Amino acid sequence: MADVPFIQLTGITKHFGGVHALKGVDLSVAAGEVVALVGHNGAGKSVLVQILSGVFPPTAGEIRVNGQMTTFGSPVDARHHGIETIYQTLALADNLDAPANFFLGRELKTTLGFLDKKRMAREAAKALIELNPNLVDVERPVRQMSGGQRQAVAIARAIHFDVRLLIMDEPTAALGPHETAQVAELIKRLRAQGIGILLISHDVRDVMQLADRIVVLKGGQIVGSVVPSESSEDEVVDMIIRGRRLPAGRAE
């Protein structure tokens, strides 16, 4: 079973009315593999992310988890398979505090079904401080937190619940250099733990250093995939722009 990837998408197609957002996309991520998905805005990256995290189903195509065919009816289904997503928007409820966001949709309850606020506060605080020691006073609305702190909440929530595949949608787009380095460290750590990571980015330089494999998407189709050590930033950028691979030996 070692060569069965954790997740495997085959022929994923998505139409929104007359708009063909994805046209037969094949993509796989193995356990402990970091796959970067790059492409321009409108290439279909976000649509693919939302299909993988169960926000909406594909029009056609297959999703396999550990080789088993499956469908995701909702984000809850995807979570049950250990697929967690950190959206670019972070998907936090601004009016709730960090523990409430952390456990949103899977609250800890007492035997009578009431919220176990103390335990949630304790566990969330522990997970958050482990991730970002600068986080003090987690029990305030996330609205009042900085961008980095809010992202820590979103990341901590995603990796807390037995994650097998972590999808990160532009994780560093809103961060400073120091926080970006922290995210890179985190990705390496999770990878070492055998967690598969799908990294969505438009920053080719960033992903060259982090990814085991870079997949280029353009116009809803996969242009090709490269291994960073055997390729160059220029080649990837070229693929993003031209939508095809340069013929071998003709690097410009």
Binding site for another protein (CB under 8 A): 53, 55, 74-76, 79, 85, 87, 89-96, 100-101, 104-107, 109, 113-115, 117-118
Q: What minimum distance in Å lies between the beta carbon of 155 and another protein?
A: 14
Closest CA to 170 of 12, 43, 21, 22: 43
Cβ distance to another protein smaller for residue 109 or 244: 109
| CA distances (Å), origin 104, targets 86, 99, 148, 249 | 14, 8, 20, 52
Tokens of 100: 């409430």
Q: What minimum distance in Å lies between the beta carbon of 188 and another protein?
A: 26
Q: HSE, CB side, 13 Å, CA atoms: give it for residue 118.
A: 1
Cβ distance to another protein smaller for residue 164 or 213: 164
Cβ distance to another protein smaller for residue 100 or 187: 100
Q: What minimum distance in Å lies between the beta carbon of 99 and another protein?
A: 10
How far is it, in rounded angstroms, from Cα 87 to Cα 242? 27
What is 108-165 written as a DSSP string? -B-TTS-B-HHHHHHHHHHHHHHH-TT-----SBGGGS-HHHHHHHHHHHHHHS--SE
| CA distances (Å), origin 170, targets 67, 89, 124, 185, 207 | 28, 9, 24, 16, 11
Q: What minimum distance in Å lies between the beta carbon of 168 and another protein?
A: 14
Cβ distance to another protein smaller for residue 107 or 212: 107
Q: What minimum distance in Å lies between the beta carbon of 113 and another protein?
A: 7
Q: What minimum distance in Å lies between the beta carbon of 114 and another protein?
A: 5
Q: Compute φ and ψ for 209, nearest 5 degrees.
A: -85, -20
Cβ distance to another protein smaller for residue 94 or 233: 94
Cβ distance to another protein smaller for residue 76 or 136: 76
Q: State which amino acid sits at residue 112.
A: L
